[in-house]
Amino acid sequence: MKKLLILFDYGTSNIWDVTNPSEPKISLEVEGLPVSEIVKNKLIEIRTAYENLFLNNKSEFSFKGFSSIEEKKKFTKLTEQVIKDFKNELPEWIVEIDVESMP
């Protein structure tokens, strides 16, 4: 049984294989996951939205956050929906979220 963790970390897919707790977390590529294109597209949308929360240029890297409460609610809802989608498509897998990494 696979165990995945949604852990937000800039520059990654935010999907981590944590099946074996004695081994380091492995960042997974969205394209390689055995889920529908709909779920993959949602994961890419989440990754893009997360990375847009940062200012990243030659002189600065900083967290700027959401532009509105509505934007944050949309992000949270999409993340929760992806977890449900995973559970529907891969019921034998465990998918959790690292709430401490949620923006």
CA distances from 71 to 14, 32, 85, 93, 96 (A): 19, 28, 21, 29, 22
Evaluate the CA torsion angle 47, 53, 58, 62 in order and state its sign: negative
Q: Give the three-class secondary structure for 20.
A: coil
Residue 79 tokens read as 């993340």
> Whose CA is closest to 84, among 42, 56, 44?
42
Q: Is residue 1 pLDDT above 90, yes or no? A: no
pLDDT digits (tens, 9 = 90+) for 16-70: 999 999 999 999 999 999 999 999 999 999 999 999 999 999 999 999 999 999 9
Question: Are residues 96 and 19 in contact, defined by beta-carbon separation less than 8 angstroms?
Answer: no
pLDDT digits (tens, 9 = 90+) for 63-94: 999 999 999 999 999 999 999 999 999 999 99
pLDDT at 2: 93
